[in-house]
Structure 1
Amino acid sequence: MAGNQKHSAPQTNRHDLEGLAASAASDNSSDRDFEINIPPFVGRLGGNGVALSRSRSNVAFLENVPDAAPLMSLREIANCKPFLTVPLWKSALMEGVGSLMLVWITIYANLSPAVIPATPTQRWGNFDNASFIGPLIGGILNFFYITMFTFCFGAVSGAHLNPTITIATFFARLCSLPRAILYVSFQVGGAALGGLLARASYGTRDFQVGGCWIYTDVVPIRDAFTVEFMACTILLFFAFGVGLDPRQKNIVGPTLGPFLVGLALASLSFGTGYTRYGYGGASLNPARCFGSYVGSSFPDFHWIHWVADIVACIFHAVFYHVVPPWEVQQSR
Structure 2
Amino acid sequence: MSVAIEANPKRDEGAGEKMETTRHRTIRHSKSVPEPLRAAHIHTTPFAARLGGNQEFVLDRADPKNAAVLEDIPDAATHMTVKQALDLRGFRQAILWKAAAVEGVGTMLLVYATDWSTLSPAAYPPPPDPASESGVFSTASFLGPLVGGVTSAIFIAMYIFCFGAVTGGHLNPLITIATFFTRLTSLPRAILYVSFQIIGASLAGLLIRASYDSREFKVGGCWLNPAEISVSSAFTNEFSASLVVLFMAFGVGLDPRQRQIFGPSLGPIFVGLAVGTTAFSMAFTRPGYGGAAMNPARCFGAYVGSSFPTWHWIHWVATIAASVFHGIVYYMVPPWGGFAGKHERQLVSDEEK
The one-letter amino acid of 1:118's match is P
**What is the aligned counterpart of 2:52 among 43, 46, 50?**
46
Q: What's the TM-score, normalizing by structure 1? A: 0.87
**What is the aligned counterpart of 1:328 among 340, 349, 353?**
340
CA deviation map 1:9-30 (0-9, x unaligned) = xxxxxxxxxxxxxxxxxxxxxx
Q: Distance in 2 between matches of 1:119 and 1:61?
A: 57
Question: Which structure 2 residues correspond to residues 237-316 of structure 1 after superposition, within 5 A?
Answer: 237-316=247-326
Q: Distance in 2 between matches of 1:202 and 1:251?
A: 44
Q: Distance in 1 between matches of 2:212 and 2:49?
A: 35
Asked if 1:114 corresponds to 2:126, the answer is: no
Q: Distance in 2 between matches of 1:240 and 1:119?
A: 36
The one-letter amino acid of 2:44's match is I
Q: What's the TM-score, normalizing by structure 2? A: 0.82
Q: Distance in 1 between matches of 2:161 and 2:272?
A: 10
Q: Distance in 2 between matches of 1:294 and 1:37?
A: 38
1:41 and 1:51 in contact (8 A); partners too: yes
**What is the aligned counterpart of 1:36 among 39, 42, 47?**
42
2:85 corresponds to which residue? 77
Offset of residue 85 of structure 1 = 1.4
Offset of residue 297 of structure 1 = 0.2
1:30 corresponds to which residue? none
Deviates more, 1:152-161 or 1:44-53: 44-53
1:168 corresponds to which residue? 178
Deviates more, 1:45-54 or 1:304-313: 45-54
CA 79–275 in structure 1, closer or farther in 2 if over 3 Å, else same: same
Offset of residue 35 of structure 1 = 4.4
SS, match of residue 112 in structure 1: strand
The one-letter amino acid of 2:47's match is F
Q: Distance in 1 between matches of 2:341 and 2:232?
A: 45
Asked if 1:220 corresponds to 2:227, the answer is: no
Q: Distance in 1 between matches of 2:79 and 2:265?
A: 26
1:6 corresponds to which residue? none
1:120 and 1:126 in contact (8 A); partners too: yes
Offset of residue 37 of structure 1 = 3.5
CA deviation map 1:14-53 (0-9, x unaligned) = xxxxxxxxxxxxxxxxxxxx94341100100122631211
Q: Distance in 2 between matches of 1:203 and 1:143?
A: 27
2:7 corresponds to which residue? none
CA 103–329 in structure 1, closer or farther in 2 if over 3 Å, else same: closer
CA deviation map 1:250-288 (0-9, x unaligned) = 212122111100000000110011101110000000000
SS, match of residue 208 in structure 1: strand
**What is the aligned counterpart of 2:165 among 155, 169, 181?**
155
The one-letter amino acid of 2:340's match is V
1:47 and 1:252 in contact (8 A); partners too: no
Q: Distance in 2 between matches of 1:214 and 1:119?
A: 13
Aligned CA-pair RMSD: 1.7
Asked if 1:209 corresponds to 2:216, the answer is: no
Q: Distance in 2 between matches of 1:75 and 1:233?
A: 27
Deviates more, 1:208-217 or 1:84-93: 84-93
Q: Distance in 1 between matches of 2:284 and 2:78?
A: 39
Q: Distance in 2 between matches of 1:135 and 1:252?
A: 29
1:63 corresponds to which residue? 71
1:164 and 1:286 in contact (8 A); partners too: yes
Offset of residue 120 of structure 1 = 0.9
SS, match of residue 156 in structure 1: helix
The one-letter amino acid of 1:120's match is P
Offset of residue 118 of structure 1 = 2.1
Offset of residue 80 of structure 1 = 1.7
Contiguous gaps of at least 5 residues in structure 1: 1-33
Contiguous gaps of at least 5 residues in structure 2: 1-39, 346-353
Q: Distance in 1 between matches of 2:82 and 2:280?
A: 38
Identity in percent: 55
The one-letter amino acid of 1:117's match is P
Asked if 1:104 corresponds to 2:116, the answer is: no
